[in-house]
A and B are shown apart, each in its own frame.
Chain A
């Protein structure tokens, strides 16, 4: 049932108020941080109230302004949007706690800026999730780019500014040069900006033009990190861990994949994508991205670098899933969107925990660290197992549906790519796990002894505080829980994949 309601707007406004609170209480920590937490909990609650309305295929709409004669700024929550918004909102609350543990809660301007931008990031993300048309989507998509820029350059070092510049240039550049023309051409051809399940193009449209528009969309949505518009993602790794977690699991990349799903499902429609041969084209592009990124990750030593290239590959899994053009593929794609978020954020939280405890960032430095940081490494292991796609994690369930989707439509090549890349991702994650859990700890010069030739010993390392561990363990628990009991989530996703 399609109804009108203000819940989508409330979900959008809660973080804005949170940001205002952060700025007002900038000198009162930890009340400043709690503004974000409260806003996040409100947002989770509001999104939860939308579930009953959308799980039968209904929508909740709200029109904010008649933007142009041709299109309004309109919000419309449907099942797909609620899945993205809900995932982001839950992880936002956890990330805020984690950031308190990671950065501390000193009343310094940098952290006020961080928490305010964090809130606004959530507004933009939910805005994308609940966009009812391409104009609204573009508005929040660009807002997300702008508001995450200060987060990427958080450290303020020349290196961070360089990475931030690349991030901004790729995101804004692709959006203006490719996405904006795609949206305009869509309107010129279809006469509407609105998302309609099954697509908006009429039967008589020129095939060449439609293929052009589709390619412009794929290139323009750089947030999905499809090769060749992926290189902003490793560059953005200069950001501190809580920001990377947010970019990779909560906001930016999820929004990218979400936009591609919207374009395939609600602008073109699966049938048209299939008729034009665009499904195969997308399969080829995503397969190349999956294989190249996995092979690249195998050679890296930097933990965050591996996670970055792993993300690039996993995002293409989701897009591959929807390009299979079968219900199984769509279910796998959306479930992987959720599952990857929880698994990848666990991995980032763990990497941050390792950094806090030891200041190490390379795989080669991790030998035997599992004995010193048991909680962290257990979380890391479960996150990694989920990304590889082994039971009993959510990653396994998602991969099962992706395999199913490939078989349903007889896409044997895609099936082969999925299998090979499973082996490859097992390769780079198991390398880390073996080093951390099996190898003996490395000895190091005693810290503070003053001379490098001092005697060697295994340095004492302690797990970081509860504010870092607790969010990590919660996301780990979700990774397992969604793996053993995915039923309720699949009910919601089923609406999308029908």
Chain B
């Protein structure tokens, strides 16, 4: 496992810049008085971050399994901690994805957030700072710090700008759930550090550095304990069945912008890819059947519950649980197709969830509800909105030609290669996704206009259409050219798969 330093690769600490820039802009916003200037500066800042993240992806060496753009500064050396940022094929794409979603959230807040816009924009930028930190940290403790920091803006966003009457409870429930997971995560990380120190091959020094820990996996007993702690933490965040209870409430009560960030960035699944697979590979191989079972149950459960939802945002919450289950299924197949599929799927979900939630936001703003009881016939009054919603919906149900298909196809390929029965179950679940998306779509968008608010509603304004248009174009483009993403991930995924290969595991050594 090699690391390329940022100084050698691009000449300046680009990852630190990406993490700190949103924070700096956030502080800057505190000094701006007029609302107009406020929104402009915030958006300009978000666009600069997006541009910089694109520079990062362009400069990234594709197909390599190396960690790149590394920056390391000692922090608390006696505890083995350092400020260490780097990205590899698994994580690099989440940086531009985060930056893109933040730009989208800001554009939509233009019309929808009238209450305390300054604090809203500051919270969103704060979230961006922490999220990019999460995706780029390769020191476990540093990761944990960013992970916890994310809670603050999230809580504030749900609590202050939520649309629901019970947003107070939803916000509290979210934070308490996450803190429970964090506790497990921290214990798991410490166990890893300590377990790795006593493993053969390490120099006896305590370290929480991902690259160091990967070299010396702990004994299988420690791995198993760490595995369950980490799985609990990341499953709660993802959220994955049966740890999903907080998501529907949060999505319905919280503001749409928060929803985009929460279900658009699948940090729980990322946690699996970043820490669980490489750090406790033997435990993961041993328990992959459990992940597969939870994945399958999650896909089925999420899809079936989604089928009976009448509210678009609740539907999206359960669809997300279903999709996370599918990603887990991909991971559990332990082969390159399955892992590639899982990474592709969660990048796609970022786009698709954004498209769907944007549509939900547009509808809510115009009609005052996203429940099918209040809708029907939207296509007649808002054809542009319908078109964008349809493209996102097709992405969600994995129609070929959208970005939903390659990920799902690779996961099926991986599942069938691993086990024919696993693949068979996976396929039967895919059909349910088609069912819930189409049922909702038909009832909300087709048919007769039943309410006067729908009859009087307007189609998308230019800014809204452009926002939705960017997302739609990306959904279709990645549907035809998925190699744009797969070329980034292939090197790191191949490396991960070789770690998971049972013939080279520590389990056989002790």
Contact = CB atoms under 8 A, between A and B. Distances in A.
Interface of A: 64-70, 73, 109, 135, 138-139, 142-143, 146, 161, 165, 168-169, 172-173, 176-177, 180-181, 184-185, 187-188
Interface in B393-438: 394, 399-401, 405-406, 409-410, 412-413, 416-417, 420, 423-424, 427-428, 430-431, 434, 438
Contact of B423 (A70, A165, A181): A181
Contact of B413 (A66, A109, A184): A184
Interface in B452-505: 480-483, 486, 490
B446 A161 contact: yes
A374 to B, nearest CB: 42
B221 interface: no
Contact of A184 (B340, B416, B447, B480): B416
Contact of B442 (A139, A165, A177): A165
A69 B416 contact: no
A64 B427 CA distance: 27
A176 B400 CA distance: 11
Given A177-B431, A181-B424, A68 B482 contact: yes
A359 B394 CA distance: 38
Contact of B400 (A69, A139, A168, A188): A139
25 contacts: A65-B481, A65-B483, A66-B483, A67-B480, A67-B482, A68-B410, A68-B482, A69-B340, A69-B490, A73-B480, A139-B405, A142-B399, A142-B400, A143-B399, A161-B446, A173-B434, A176-B431, A176-B434, A177-B427, A180-B412, A181-B412, A185-B416, A185-B420, A188-B413, A188-B416
Contacts of A181: 412, 416, 423-424, 427
Given A143-B400, A143-B401, A69 B447 contact: no
Contact of B430 (A109, A176, A187): A176
Contacts of A168: 438
A181 B411 CA distance: 12
B482 A176 contact: no
B29 to A, nearest CB: 42
A436 B462 CA distance: 57
Nearest to A209: B420
Interface in B192-226: none
Given A70-B413, A176-B430, 15 more contacts: A66-B483, A68-B409, A68-B410, A70-B337, A109-B383, A139-B405, A161-B446, A172-B434, A176-B434, A181-B423, A184-B409, A184-B413, A184-B423, A188-B413, A188-B416
Contacts of A142: 399-401
Main secondary structure of the interface of A (DSSP, over half): helix
Contact of B480 (A65, A70, A146): A65
B430 A184 contact: no
Nearest to A183: B409
Contact of B483 (A67, A169, A173, A176): A67
A69 B431 CA distance: 25
A297 B122 CA distance: 69
A139 B399 CA distance: 8
B399 A146 contact: yes
Given A65-B481, A142-B401, A180 B486 contact: no
B480 A64 contact: yes
Nearest to A109: B383
How many B residues are at the interface, by size bracket? 20 to 34
A181 B482 CA distance: 20
Contacts of A66: 483
Contacts of B410: 68
A220 B179 CA distance: 47
Contacts of A139: 400-401, 405
A75 to B, nearest CB: 13
A187 B335 CA distance: 15
Contacts of B483: 65-69
Contacts of A188: 413, 416-417
Contacts of B416: 181, 184-185, 188
A224 to B, nearest CB: 19
B432 to A, nearest CB: 10
Given A161-B447, A188-B413, A173 B431 contact: yes
Nearest to B490: A69
Contacts, number: 75
B481 A138 contact: no
B446 A177 contact: no
Interface string B382-399: 010000000000100001
B438 A138 contact: no
A386 B434 CA distance: 40
A169 B417 CA distance: 28
B400 A138 contact: yes
Contacts of A165: 442
Nearest to A178: B427
Contacts of A135: 409
A177 B412 CA distance: 12
Contacts of A64: 480
A487 B406 CA distance: 44
A68 B400 contact: no
A185 B430 CA distance: 16
A109 B400 CA distance: 27
A68 B424 CA distance: 21
Contacts of B409: 68, 135, 180, 184
Nearest to B337: A70
Contacts of B480: 64-65, 67, 73
B411 to A, nearest CB: 10
A65 to B, nearest CB: 5
Contacts of B442: 161, 165
B379 to A, nearest CB: 10
B339 to A, nearest CB: 12
Given A176-B434, A185-B416, A187-B413, A68 B428 contact: no
Contacts of A184: 409, 412-413, 416, 423
Residue in A109, A168, A173, A185 whose Cβ sees the most chain B Cβ within 10 Å: A185
Contacts of B427: 176-177, 180-181
A173 B435 CA distance: 9
B38 to A, nearest CB: 39
A177 B433 CA distance: 12
Contacts of A65: 480-481, 483
Contacts of B340: 69
A172 B423 CA distance: 18
A136 to B, nearest CB: 9
Contact of A180 (B337, B401, B406, B430): B430
A68 B428 CA distance: 23
B337 to A, nearest CB: 8
Interface in B46-68: none
A485 to B, nearest CB: 40
A108 B438 CA distance: 26
B123 to A, nearest CB: 39
B391 to A, nearest CB: 11
Given A161-B447, A180-B430, A68 B481 contact: no
A176 B340 CA distance: 21
Interface string B348-366: 0000000000000000000
A108 to B, nearest CB: 13
A218 to B, nearest CB: 17
B318 to A, nearest CB: 19
Contacts of A177: 427-428, 431
B428 to A, nearest CB: 7
Contacts of B490: 69
B406 A68 contact: yes
B440 to A, nearest CB: 13
B205 to A, nearest CB: 39
A64 B482 CA distance: 12
Contacts of B423: 181, 184-185
Nearest to A185: B416
Residue in B340, B399, B430 whose Cβ sees the most chain A Cβ within 10 Å: B399
A485 B424 CA distance: 50
A69 B341 CA distance: 11
